[in-house]
Each structure stands twice: as structure tokens, then as C-alpha cells.
Amino acid sequence: MLAEMTIEKEATVFVVDDDPAIRKSLRWLIESVGLKVETHELASDFLESYSPDSPGCLVLDVRIPGMSGLELQEKLRDRGYDIPVVIVSGYGDVPMAVRAMKAGAVDFLEKPVSDQVLLDYIQKGIERDINNKKNRLENKELMERKKSLTRRELEVMEHVVSGQSSREIAEILNVSFKTIEAHRAKIMKKMKAKSVPKLIQMDLQIKRDV
């Protein structure tokens, strides 16, 4: 819990809007709740300076001179960045905002927007990004553990997660029961799995994200 609180404090809210008055008011609002803010007039400026290492949320106007909000989303997606995006649009921009939502934005809000509503969506975006980064780190660790298994251990693991017993696996692989048990013990240790159900869950998570 403490680690998550620390990560949240390191989160940055990025604001991309060509209106200086809006950038200034949003900076004041977001900083008033203790969050870091970085503002940009152009989408290209944000794209050049953005680093996906730390958690954050992007508050984006769909109509920006030069690269539009939708084009920025596409560029972020092309680079493999999945920072949560909160679209802020004018009434006439609603169709564009809907397109942005379909491209993965957290939500879109019509101007003028309530301060509290905007802060709520920003918080939602930050929490999503923290969870995404946490999951990616866990998945990376799981894949590294699986890579440490020998070819035979991988073979045995596939049978284990398929629900077969050690005796059944021994018969299939034509080896002794004790040999399979030894392999299972090594697999559980290397994968840091406390139970077979946990090992199955790990394997499913790895295969889902490959």
C-alpha cells in the first residue's frame, strides 16, 4: 500500500491544450490536489518530451493546431504507449471525442466541465496507469521465471497446468513417478508458486500477455 501511495505521488498529469488560459487554470486545479502537472500547447511538444516510465494521465483537447488529439492518440499507440487519456471537447467536437473513446480514451468531457468531475476522471486515469504498470512488471517477472525452466520442466509444467497428476504425467513421458515429483518441486520453486492453482493462474497470465 505504501509503495502504491509513493507511485501515485510520482504521477504526472499532462495537459495538452492550445488555449493558454485553460492550461493555466488546469495547472492550478490539478496542483491544488497535490498532483504534478506538465502543460503543452502542441501535441508534438508533448510527444517529444513524454517518457512512459512514470505513471500519469493525459488531459487532451481534441482540436489542437498541427497534430490533432486523435493523431496524438495514434502516435502514442504506434509507440506502444498506453497512457490513459481524458478527452476534453467542445460541443461540436463530440463525434471526434467518441472516436477518441473508441481508440482507448478513459472518457470524454464536454466544456465547460466541473472541476470535481475532471479531477475524478484524472484520478481514475492515474489509477489505471498504475495498475497497468504494476501488471506489466508482474508479467515480466513471471516470464523471466518461466524462461529459467529447463525444456523438461516446461514439458512437465504443461501437463501439470492441464490438470494431470504426477502418475499420469509419468506414464505419458515414460519416466518414474519420483522423477516427475522432483521436476514438479523444481517448477514450483522456480515459479514461486505456492500451489498448483496458483501455477495455473501464472501460466494463464503469461499466455494471455504473450
- Convert the pLDDT of each residue in 27-66 to its tens digit: 999 999 999 999 999 999 999 999 888 789 999 988 888 8
Burial 10-29 (b: 16+ CB within 10 A, else e): ebbbbbbbeeeebbeebeeb
| CA 53 to mean position of chain CA atoms | 11
Cell numbers for 56, please give them: 500519469
Domains identified in the chain and CATH numbers: 2-134 (3.40.50.2300), 148-209 (1.10.10.10)
Q: How many CA atoms lie within 13 A of 101 on its CB side?
A: 11
Is 70 exceeded by the pLDDT of residue 8? no
Nearest Cα neighbor of 35 from 13, 52, 51 is 13
Torsion sign over Cα 147, 149, 152, 156: negative
Q: How far apart are CA 93 and CA 79, in angstroms?
A: 26
pTM: 0.72
